[in-house]
Structure 1
Amino acid sequence: MKCDPTQNLHRRSIRLSGYDYSRSGAYFITICTHNRFSLFGQITDGEMHLNDSGRMIERCWNEIPVHFPHVELDAFVVMPNHVHGIVAIADSPNPPRKPPITPIQPSGTSKTIGSIVRGFKIGVTTWMRQNTNVHDVWQRNYWERIIRNEPELNRIREYILNNPVNWDSDSLYVVNPQCNR
């Protein structure tokens, strides 16, 4: 079968068309494991028990502001096959008071939600490949919701914190053996 150059070969984006994802604000992020395998621990009696990989996930998440100083973290939970977290992008933490005499070279660190998630996924994947038999850690992409107001922020915080208790009814709940690949 010949390739048709007029055919769009890219997947449809799940991002809000035209939205600037470097814009200040809070974002609810969900990142799932590849094939929704339970890689990060297990839930017993409504409580998440992290394995070594799950503990590494927490460390990588908590280090996001080290790599992205314009980011503040809020509620977060590691589940057996996904993570939920709230990321808030602030305005530039230390804006320059006057223009520099010489142009500043780009640092290479984009301030978008996509670059934050990409950095997190790379850090976790690198550790997993070096310390476990797991090669494919994450599904392609991630889910995000732009948090529009304080009541919504509070509802999402509550959802995240109660996620382990409500695991059996979670849409991401999958019965699969504990993955020890």
Structure 2
Amino acid sequence: MAKFKNKYRIESTRLKNWDYSRQAAYFITICTANREHFFGKTENEEIILSLIGSIVEQEWIKTPDIRPDMNLELGEFVVMPNHFHGIIFIGNNEFNSDRDAMCRDAMHGVSTNGIYKNEFGPQSKNLSSILRGFKSAVTIQARKINPEFGWQSRFHDQIIRNTKSFDAISQYIIDNPKKWVDDEFNK
């Protein structure tokens, strides 16, 4: 574990040398704090969303409309009792086009050999900023219903690299409610 200002800190789970504003499909998972069941329950292998779960669903659906400049599309997604899975596509846009790559890389500390290096600092117009905005919008509304609501501070992501992986992840999301009884998140 690395130290920052002589204190331990958790290393980033993001893929090193990957620019998360890049055009790609991403599979994301976000959990509630302490895996509390804020989003609903399962009955007969189907999700019955709570009011907070419905807010999560509505905010996710609005994500591309809120950020039209990022050329976003949504794939499969599911709101589970204590977590959320989704696929999001970041399309080619003014923030990740080849024309702007050299300027963006220079601002983010690319080495002279041209390899992109993730830098700790403000995140905008990338996957982290999308999810930060999503989580914030949900939190503001959810705390009006339940002041105890919260998210885990991080999220899990996977860059989807091919059609086979995309199909498998899509099916995993679709099947998630049917497998809830045995799910690692069901505690």
Q: Normalised by the size of structure 1, how large is the TM-score?
A: 0.81
**Equivalence for 1:86:** 87
**Equivalence for 1:63:** 62
Is 1:158–2:158 an aligned residue pair? no
Report if the CA contact (8 A) 1:31-1:83 is conserved: yes
C-alpha distance in 2 between matches for 1:78 and 1:25: 22
Deviation of 1:137 after TM superposition, in Å, equals 1.5
- Map 1:88-127 onto structure 2 (within 5 A): 88-92=89-93, 110-127=124-141
Q: Note closer, same or farther for the CA distance 1:150–1:133 as it changes in structure 2 (3 Å cut).
A: same
Q: Which ranges of structure 2 fall in alignment gaps of 5 or more residues?
A: 97-121
C-alpha distance in 2 between matches for 1:7 and 1:110: 28
Indicate which of 166, 172, 176 corresponds to 2:185.
172
Deviation of 1:135 after TM superposition, in Å, equals 3.4
Q: Which ranges of structure 1 fall in alignment gaps of 5 or more residues?
A: 96-107, 175-181
Figure out how many residues of one structure are paired with residues of the other and give that number: 158
Deviation of 1:7 after TM superposition, in Å, equals 2.1
C-alpha distance in 2 between matches for 1:28 and 1:145: 5
Q: Note closer, same or farther for the CA distance 1:170–1:5 as it changes in structure 2 (3 Å cut).
A: closer
Report if the CA contact (8 A) 2:38-2:149 is conserved: no
**Equivalence for 1:7:** 6
Which contiguous aligned blocks of 4+ residues in structure 1 show a shift greater than 4 angstroms? none
Q: Percent identity?
A: 41
- Bigger radius of gyration, 1 or 2? 1
- Map 1:5-84 onto structure 2 (within 5 A): 7-69=6-68, 70-84=71-85
Report if the CA contact (8 A) 2:33-2:150 is conserved: yes
Q: Where is the helix percentage greater, Structure 1 or Structure 2?
A: 2
